[in-house]
């Protein structure tokens, strides 16, 4: 992953007409640039070790300090212990306590930070249920720089 504010290749981006041009001219293959003015923290709640690592790595590439847990109960306990975050990325399908109930419990504690509900399977009913539970946005995995950059700018008040 690229450090905050540094471009990195994005193999998922469509190739441009100038495929033979030097890499520095291929602006479409860069992470959206975000330079944070403030210290931002994030909690990643995902039952998949791989997904946790990818989501945490992306957030860290943009300069966020991150923590990660592998189940909903661990997230609730961490927040109940006094941990504060600017952003919580939470998967819908979690062991021990699912994403919907975890979100409800976190919101019931008075937490008002931005919460992104993520899932590998998009169904309209799931989106509505997750939004009703209290997430601010519902995103189908994978969490990408194009999705994350505007959220980080908003959190950083840019």
pLDDT tens for each residue of 131-140 = 999 999 999 9
Taking the model in full, what pTM does it have? 0.80
Task: Establish if 20 belongs to a structural domain.
Answer: no
pLDDT of res. 35: 85
The alpha carbon of 158 is separated from its chain's Cα centroid by a whole number of angstroms, namely: 18
**Residue 74: closest CA among 53, 51, 44:** 44
Q: What is the CATH number of the domain that holds 133?
A: 3.40.50.2300
| Rounded CA separation 90/71 (Å) | 9
pLDDT of res. 11: 32
| Rounded CA separation 90/44 (Å) | 6
Mean pLDDT for 136-153 is 94
Range of the domain at 42: 38-155
Res 95 pLDDT > 60: yes
**Structural domain total, the chain:** 1
């Amino acid at each position: 992953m690229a450090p905050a504010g540094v471009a990195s290749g994005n193999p998922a981006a469509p190739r441009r007409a100038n495929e033979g041009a030097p890499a520095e001219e291929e602006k479409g293959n860069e992470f959206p640039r975000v330079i944070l003015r403030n210290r931002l923290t994030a909690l990643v709640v995902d039952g998949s070790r791989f997904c946790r690592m990818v989501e945490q790595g992306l957030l860290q590439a943009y300069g966020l300090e991150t923590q990660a847990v592998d189940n909903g109960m661990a997230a609730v306990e961490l927040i109940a212990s006094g941990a504060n975050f600017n952003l919580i990325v939470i998967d819908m399908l979690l062991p021990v306590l699912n994403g919907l109930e975890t979100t409800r419990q976190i919101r019931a504690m008075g937490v008002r930070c931005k919460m992104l509900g993520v899932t590998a399977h998009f169904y309209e009913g799931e989106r509505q249920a997750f939004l009703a539970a209290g997430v601010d946005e519902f995103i189908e995995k994978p969490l990408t720089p194009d999705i994350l950059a505007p959220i980080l700018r908003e959190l950083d008040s840019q």
